[in-house]
Structures are given as C-alpha cells and as structure tokens.
Amino acid sequence: MPEWILATDPAQVRVLVSGYQSWSEAELRPLTDVQAVPLMRWRHEQGHDPAFLPSGEAGVWRSHTVLALVRPDGGGWVGAAQDATHTFTHWEARAEGDRVRVTCSQEGPATAVAWEPTDDVITILETLSAQLGANMHARTPAPQRVWCSWYSYYRGVTLEAMLDNARLAREHGLPFDVFQLDDGFQSDLGDWFTASDHFGGHARDLPAGLNELGFTAGLWLAPFLASPTSQLFRDHPDWMLRGKDGAPLAVGHNWGGAYHALDTTHPEVLVWLRDLAATARGWGYPYLKLDFLYGAALPGVRHDPSVGRAAAYRMGLQALRDGAGDDAFLLGCGAPLAASIGVVDAMRTGPDVAPLWDEDSRRVWLGDATGPSARNALHTALSRWYQHAWYQPDPDVAICRRELSLLTATERHTVATMLDVVGGLRASSDPIAMLDVDGLALLRRCLEISRPDRPTTLTESLGGAVTHFSRATF
Ligand code: 9PG
C-alpha cells in the first residue's frame, strides 16, 4: 500500500475529499476536524461506500479517487487515480503529531496513481483530473438545458403536466433543450414497460408531443434496481446481487420499502439492460437519466465471483450505453463517479436539491449530508468542480419559484449563481405557470451558458469560489 509521510503541521492543513458516488459528500475541511460518519446504518449502502466509510476519528479523512491537502499558502499535495475502469481507489490522510500520513489502497486490479507535491494545488488537481479523464476517454458533449419533472411533481407526475409545461416553456421562449420525465411513470421499480395508474398514458406516448414543441425527450430509469413486488424480481430472482447468505441483498430503502439490485456479471442481466436502453431509445428518448446506479457496485456475491465491484458496475453501464447508442446522452445519478468516466455524458455531482436551504438535524446530528437540501447539493457539487474533465457535471436544478418553496430570495439567487460556477447541465423543475416575472428572469439567467462548458482557464476563480464558499458559508 503506497504511503507518504509529510513533515507538515496538521493544524495548518485543509483536506479536500470526495465520496465515491453522486450523493456522497465532498468537502474541503481542516484536517484536524472529524469527517462525519452516517449514524443511520441503512444510509451506508445508499449514500456512501460501505467498504470505505469515514473512520469517525478526529484528523482522519477518507476520499475516493482524488485527495488533496492544502496549506494556507495554496501549496500542498494532490493524490489522484490515473484509471478507474476496474478499480476503486481509496485515499486516507491522517494527522499524526506534527506530521501527516497519507495512504492509498485499491479495490480491484492495481492501477497507477499520481502523487504530486505542489505550490499550486488547484492547477495540479485540474491537471491530474484531466489526465484521468483523458485516460478513460471522457466524453465531451455540449451542456444541456433540462426541464425535469422531479422537484415539483415528484412521483405524481402526469403526461399532461409534462406537455403543459413544455407548451408554456415554448410560449415564454425558455431555451430548454430537453424535457425529462422523472420517476413516477412506471408501474413498479424494474417494471419500466408498464405505466403507473396515475400517469395518464404510457412513457412512449410523450416524445412525439415534446418533439413537436421543439424539445428532446428525456427519461428517468433506475435500470439496476428491482423492487421485491416487481414482475422483474418475481420473474428473475436469480438475477439479483446476493448477500453471503444467498438471499437477494437489500441495497437501499426508498419507495416505501427495501429494494434489490441486478447482478451485472450475469449474462442475461446484460442482455436485459441493453434491451431496456434500446427500448427507451426506440420510444423516442435519446436522453436518459440513469439513476441509483450505485446498486450494481455494492459489495456482494455475484454470478461471476472473479469480477470485482468496479468492473461489474462498468459492465452494466456499458450494456446500457450499447443499447442506447453512441449518440444518446446519458446522465448518471447516484452513481460511482470515476468508474463512469467515458460511458456517461453527464453526472450528478451532489445530492438532491430541495426547496429548502438545509436540514441541519440530519446533517449535524445524524452525520449525513447526503439528504436533499440546497446547501448539500451546492456544497458537494462545488467541492467537485475539478471533475468537469470527467463528464458534464450536473449540480441539480435551480429553484426559481416562490410558491412551494422555503428558500429566501437570497438563497434562490445563491443557488443560481453557484450553478453557473459549477457549469455543465442547467436544469429546472419549476412548474412554469408558478413563475412570476422575477422567477422567469432568474430561470432565464440560469439557462444562459455564460461560461465555457469545460473551463480550463478559470481554475483560479473556480478554486477561489470553492475555497471561499467552504470557509465563509458553511
Ligand atoms: C427519483 C429521484 C430523482 C432525483 C434523484 C433520486 O437516498 N435516497 O433515498 C434517495 C432517494 C431519492 C433520490 C436520492 C436519494 O433522488 O437524485 O433527482 O430522480 O431519485 O426517485
């Protein structure tokens, strides 16, 4: 296990860490602080890597793929994996008296890591991240402007609401590229081909209407999941990722109960995944939001035990890409980050936004910053700004409405400004009819692509924003 002993005072150093999947926290903190451990046991699979949880000791910080230590003068050290195709790379920084010990371990076949002492952490971090992106053939699509049904209609979305919003967006001349239908159209988790009772149609009925209005149709899927009540689970219990006891693993709790994940080393599962993505494409959806992808990357007993977690995950993701086609736009969500490079076009880089600033009881007392809030989404997406070389970052939606929201005007504007700093996808879920003159103006501002899609010359200001934001606001 590579190890470095740094002769530097831990009290003078801040550490930049990133959790392994979209919703896991990323942050820049004094090294002597305590990295929060989620107290709720069931969050360990759902928001974190159960095989590499924070230790909970003061002065010990764990990070996936990349870790940076920053001195007050802006110099420091950066460690970064150089490939993540088959491997998860785990970094740990530990304060030990007047020194810092950094260790690096890998889950999966050993691959190269870079370790750089530097007088300019921001520039080296950007350079090493870009190398990882290049090594894994990161895709470089144009940023998309997306209307997504989730953060207003939630599971109650209907076909009519989608079309009403698309019509109003067209009337107001709002420059969306994509109208994306989220969770709620399907009869059960895993049963993507049959409609829910309330949706008022079938997912395949929507794209034509959206196309007529000039929008690309987008669809949400959680392709690696199956609920125990689904037809998918009942027909193919042998396709599930299992625990040591042989029973299908519960990989999370949502939708009113536990749910399972597909074992992506099973050849029939790979065929199913390819067909699923191809079918959605055939319905008229060239934009897919692929959610809860972490399920296929959890530790467990697999059909092919010789395949490690990262490689198994990647096989499932590649099957989806093969089915959707090379020209489809794939957004990963709830997804292992670095292991997705080169297959996804965009990636959610933080937890869900919510129409409230913070839920500090859960964050502070339960040690869990993966919950939905504007603060959590921004804080994590900003702390991952350097990942723009891996995919288009998606910091999640802005919230411009005043109704059905607890955000103050300042908070709405803060979210809008910070999303522009992160770049990548620009998105909204606001029912257009709910927006007043100010709300429409703010939304228009959010949809402006005012920065280059993959900033390479903005490192100073981006890094500065992250540093300032972490210090002053949180
Ligand atoms: C649809 C939503 C939206 C949203 C996604 C994702 O840990 N959890 O229980 C958890 C539940 C939902 C969730 C994230 C985490 O939201 O990020 O944009 O698509 O699914 O169900």
Write out pLDDT tens, residues 346-379.
999 999 999 999 998 999 899 999 999 999 999 9
Looking at residues 328-346, what average pLDDT do you find?
A: 98
Q: Which of 5, 17, 169 is nearest to 91 (CA)?
A: 17
Alpha carbon distance 442, 425 (integer Å): 16
Pair of tokens at residue 257: 């109960």
Which residue's CA is the nearest one to ligand 1's atom 20? Answer: 291
Determine if ligand 1 sits within 6 Å of the CB of residue 91: no
Q: Which atom of ligand 1 is nearest to the CA of 333?
A: 17
Beta-sheet pairing, 145-148 with 14-18: unpaired
| 291 CA distance to ligand 1 middle (Å) | 8
Determine if ligand 1 sits within 6 Å of the CB of residue 345: no
Non-local (6+) Cβ contacts of 267 within 8 A are none
* Contact (Cβ atoms closer than 8 angstroms) between residue 140 and residue 454: yes
Mutual orientation of helices 409-422 and 374-382 as an angle, nearest 10°? 20
Determine if ligand 1 sits within 6 Å of the CB of residue 146: no
Looking at residues 452-471, what average pLDDT do you find?
A: 44
Pair of tokens at residue 335: 């997804």
Alpha carbon distance 372, 356 (integer Å): 9
- Return the number of other C-beta atoms located less than 10 Å from residue 258's C-beta: 15
Pair of tokens at residue 120: 């300019």
Q: Which of 123-132, 352-361, 417-426 has the lowest mean pLDDT?
A: 417-426
CA 270 to chain centre: 22
Of residues 416 and 294, which shows the higher confidence score? 294
Catalytically active residues, by annotation: 291, 352
- Residue 453: which pLDDT band, with cuts at 50, 70 and 90? low
* pLDDT exceeds cutoff 70 at 467: no
| 281 CA distance to ligand 1 middle (Å) | 22
pLDDT of residue 451: 61
- Return the number of other C-beta atoms located less than 10 Å from residue 135's C-beta: 17
Alpha carbon distance 87, 10 (integer Å): 29
Please identify which residue in the block is written with the tokens 């692509």: 449
* Cβ density class 421-443: b for 16+ within 10 Å, e for less: bbbbbbbbbbbbeebeeebbebb
Looking at residues 206-217, what average pLDDT do you find?
A: 98
Determine if ligand 1 sits within 6 Å of the CB of residue 150: yes
Determine if ligand 1 sits within 6 Å of the CB of residue 254: yes
Which residues are bridge partners to 77 per DSSP?
Answer: 69, 117
DSSP 45-106: HHHS-TTS-----BTEEEEESEEEEE-TTS-EEEEEES--SS-EEEEEEEEETTEEEEEEEE
Q: What is the tens place of the pLDDT at every residue in 69-127?
A: 999 999 999 999 999 999 999 999 999 999 999 999 999 999 999 999 999 999 999 99
- Residue 416: which pLDDT band, with cuts at 50, 70 and 90? confident
Alpha carbon distance 448, 469 (integer Å): 22
Interface predicted TM-score of the whole assembly (ipTM), two decimals: 0.99
* pLDDT exceeds cutoff 80 at 474: no
DSSP-derived secondary structure letter, 143: P
Which residue's CA is the nearest one to ligand 1's atom 9? Answer: 254
- Residue 311: which pLDDT band, with cuts at 50, 70 and 90? very high
| 367 CA distance to ligand 1 middle (Å) | 19
Domains (range + CATH), the chain: 3-135 (no CATH), 145-473 (3.20.20.70)
Q: What mean pLDDT, rounded, does the chain reach? A: 93
Which residue's CA is the nearest one to ligand 1's atom 14? Answer: 352
| 79 CA distance to ligand 1 middle (Å) | 30
Determine if ligand 1 sits within 6 Å of the CB of residue 151: no
Determine if ligand 1 sits within 6 Å of the CB of residue 333: yes
Q: 452-461: which pairs have CB atoms within 8 A and are 24 or more residues apart?
A: 452/423, 453/142, 453/143, 453/388, 453/392, 453/423, 453/424, 454/140, 454/388, 454/389, 454/423, 455/388, 455/423, 456/126, 456/130, 459/122, 459/123, 459/126, 460/122, 461/421
φ/ψ of 232, rounded to 5, equals: -55, -45
Pair of tokens at residue 401: 């409405």
Q: Given CA atoms 301, 303, 305, 311 in this order, what sign does their dihedral have?
A: negative
| 371 CA distance to ligand 1 middle (Å) | 9
Looking at residues 400-427, what average pLDDT do you find?
A: 90
Non-local (6+) Cβ contacts of 49 within 8 A are 19, 20, 21, 24, 64, 88
Determine if ligand 1 sits within 6 Å of the CB of residue 155: no
Non-local (6+) Cβ contacts of 345 within 8 A are 139, 141, 329, 330, 331, 391, 392
pLDDT of residue 423: 83
Q: Which of 127, 154, 207, 119 is nearest to 459 (CA)?
A: 127
* Contact (Cβ atoms closer than 8 angstroms) between residue 129 and residue 389: yes
pLDDT of residue 452: 52
pTM above 0.80, yes or no: yes
| 214 CA distance to ligand 1 middle (Å) | 28
* pLDDT exceeds cutoff 90 at 13: yes
Q: What is the tens place of the pLDDT at every residue in 230-250?
A: 999 999 999 999 999 999 999
Alpha carbon distance 370, 379 (integer Å): 11
- Residue 417: which pLDDT band, with cuts at 50, 70 and 90? confident
